[in-house]
Amino acid sequence: MKYGIILSVLMPLSLFADRITIHNKTGDDIYIAQYYVLAGTATRGTPVKKMEQESSTIQERLSFKPFQYRELAFSYNQSLLKQQMSEDEFKRLNPKNVGIGEGDSFYIAKSATGLRGYTTVQWNAIKPVVDSIESQIDDLRSVSKQLLSMIAMNPYKNTTAKVRMGNELCPQEVAFRKKRTSVVQQSLEKLFKKKIQYVPEIALVCSGGGVRAMLSALGAVNALAKTGLYDTLTYIPTLSGSTWTLGGYLSSDMTIDQYKDFTVKNLSSGLAPSLSDLSSISNVLLLKKSFKQPTGLVDLYGTLLAGTIFRFAGGKRQTMALSEQAKRIDSAQHPLPIYTAVHAEIGQPEEWYEFTPYEVGSAWQGAYIPSWAFGRKFNNGVSVDFSPEQSFGFLLGIYGSAFAATARKMYKEYIEPNIKIEVVRNVIDSILAVPTGEVRLIVPAFVFNYMKGVNATKSFYADLLSLADAGLDFNLPYPPVSGRRPERKADIIIFIDASAAIPAEFTRVEQYARKHNLKFPQITYTGIEHKAISVFKDEKDVSKPVIIYMPLVKDNELWNSIKDKPEFEQYRKYLEHFNLANCIANEQCGTFNFTYNEWQARQMAAVMECNVKACSGIIAREIQNYIERKSRP
């Protein structure tokens, strides 16, 4: 009622206003300018003006012109307010319409998506709600023992983090590689029954594709473990659904066979959370709010993923952390996992971020921080708070954010009816709020920008980073082992591709390599979508990696040649009458299906497990051939 009165008073006045008042509520200095927008082009109509923090300014509103919008743009970076730009470029500034119908006073403040403009009505309607939520959170913190315990148990609560500049590997990864090289050498010598002169760097690159990709990666890793090839790998870069496999496995204390058995029995309820998990979900979200960190749909989605993938962890499901995996891989008995995401803004591809148990960062920026510090607030390369590490569930949500919209449905069906604490309901409702008319295929996650104030980076001014599923660029996480970080250039790359469209995503890998002048053999695509394995190499140039491409297909020729052999008898009941193409077409094996009963899950995992096991001799032969070529004088 109150805001309706405000609106009725303000609107008549605004109809005759020829001046506007602009208030800077960001807490920082900013730059502003008014623009005309017409036919896809934005043209600046006023000079760029600097506004100091907590200041106000009065300007003449741009005069009315038929069919042109009058917009106010604002930025921390003066150079972004160019004289003319495309409408798409202009929209990235998140401008505010300042036509007469919007009133004569405007407020600029920070939001989860950067800077945002408000009318007087919006400012007065939204701010009291935000203040109310934050005040309730402060009250809740004083009584929530679990929340305070999560803060107290943070092992880095007294440790300041710093940005490390440069694309050389961090000391922890250098130490890991040294130990892993010894493990790989011993494994290859055992496999080939002879000494080797060169130890190749082998990477297993696993695609996205939802639960289908999760199960395919699980089958591939299980087969490699059974054939001895898992111990020859140095790196496993993953994307989207395959991150869920590796993230769950390396966070557990199970063998891969045990983890596979656990996983296939654990997918029948999809992402539906247990009610016993509700308290932990609430505390994870409130913890972020208590440190004033941005939250969004990916946070809620991450709690649902954690509740499913980490079910083996009991009450720790929502507090699993990426840095904890270092304990399992420091001995170098496992390859180093590399989880991936990309910058979420469409039109800015190839800005890949990589997450290992040691560091988070990007080769395109050449900036890295400890994994336990990701999500903290930074300025000038140093963390300015001591917030606990982001939950691994949230990170898995970022990596697979193409599916985050699923969280909204799960929340409405399973969580909302059981929320008793008003502040929790308010927090989650604010997370689920979507601006009118806004539809996103991929939902971004927002975190504090650890590069803010670091002059050598391209994100000097931004308060927040927006990150999303790396499939937004392409669906195979090749960049981390492509050679853009030279110390990590793989000699042999095995691609496990469970994409919906094969080999289309694989073609983008080659395009990426050619664009960045990376060593890569010529690829012949004819028929590879029907074969369980294809090998590409340059016999004359050993500096080019051997590429082994293994798409998710039921290769009938291969199947008919092995199905009667004793070592493949275990797969016969799952694969003999399984039509994978029909399963994908009927959506049971579709990218957006999260629910598999045990039989369906075992069928899906069996396809890639059987293919990799059947082709393990080819893989081993290619490794041996590469070692021999590399060892020649």
Whole-angstrom distance, CA of residue 349 vs CA of residue 360 = 18
> Is residue 352's pLDDT more than 50?
yes
The pLDDT value recorded for residue 410 is 56
Expressed in percent and rounded to 5, the helix, strand and coil fractions of the chain are 45, 20, 35
Name 515's Cβ contacts closer than 8 Å, sequence gap at least 6: none
Question: What is the predicted pLDDT for the residue at 348?
Answer: 53
Asked if the model's pLDDT at residue 441 lies above 50, the reply is: no
Distances (CA, A) of 303 to 313, 373, 517: 13, 19, 40
Range name among 115-119, 570-574, 602-606 with the lowest pLDDT average: 115-119
According to DSSP, the β-strands at 336-343 and 464-468 are: antiparallel
Give the torsion sign (CA, 469, 471, 473, 477). Answer: positive
Q: Quick one: pLDDT at residue 5?
A: 31
Q: Report pLDDT for 564.
A: 94
pLDDT recorded at residue 420: 58
| E strands present in 148-291 | 164-165, 202-206, 235-238
pTM of the model: 0.76
Q: Does domain 164-171+201-631 bear CATH number 1.25.40.10?
A: no
Q: Which residues contact 591 (CB under 8 A, 6 or more apart)?
A: 209, 210, 212, 500
Residue 290's pLDDT is 80
Residue 216, pLDDT > 90, answer yes
Q: In the prediction, which pLDDT does 64 show?
A: 87
Helix axes 210-227, 256-264, angle to 10 degrees: 150
**In this model, does residue 138 exceed pLDDT 90?**
no
Q: Which helix (H) or strand (E) holds 336?
A: strand 336-343
More confident residue, 127 or 535: 535
Mean local confidence (pLDDT), 594-604: 93
What's the CA gap between 235 and 58, in Å, rounded?
A: 57
- Give the pLDDT of residue 91: 84
In this prediction, residue 417 carries a pLDDT of 61
**Whether pLDDT at 10 is above 80:** no
Q: What pLDDT, on a 0 to 100 scale, did the predictor assign at position 515?
A: 92
Write out the two tokens for 510.
Answer: 């080659």
Check whether 89 has a pLDDT greater than 60: yes
Q: What is the mean pLDDT of residues 38-58?
A: 93
User: Phi and psi (nearest 5°) for 228?
Assistant: 85, 0
Residues across the chain? 633
At CB < 8 A and 24+ separation, what contacts does 60-67 make? 60/18, 60/19, 61/17, 61/18, 61/19, 61/20, 61/34, 61/98, 61/100, 61/104, 62/34, 62/36, 62/98, 64/100, 65/36, 65/38, 67/38
Q: Give 104's DSSP letter.
A: S
- Residue 362 has φ and ψ, to the nearest 5°, of -150, 140
Domains 2-130 and 164-171+201-631 share a fold: no
Percent of the chain with pLDDT strictly greater than 70: 84
Model confidence at 35: pLDDT above 80? yes
Given this model, what pLDDT does residue 14 score? 37
Mean pLDDT of 2-13: 34
Rounded to whole angstroms, the Cα distance separating 253 from 71 reads 56
CATH class of the domain at 2-130: mainly beta
Average pLDDT, the chain: 86
Separation between Cα atoms, residue 272 and residue 282, nearest integer Å: 15
DSSP 587-599: TTTSTT-----HH
What is the band of 499 on the pLDDT scale with cuts at 50, 70, 90?
very high
pLDDT in tens, 295-310: 888 888 888 899 889 9
Q: Sketch the domain layout of the chain as residue ranges.
A: 2-130, 164-171+201-631
How far apart (Å, rounded) are the C-alpha atoms in residues 200 and 212? 30
Q: How many CA within 13 A on the CB side of residue 458?
A: 8
Question: At CB < 8 A and 24+ separation, what contacts does 120-129 make?
Answer: 120/6, 120/10, 121/3, 121/6, 121/7, 121/10, 124/3, 124/6, 125/3
Higher pLDDT among residues 535 and 400, named by residue: 535
- Give me the mean pLDDT over the 54-63 stretch: 94
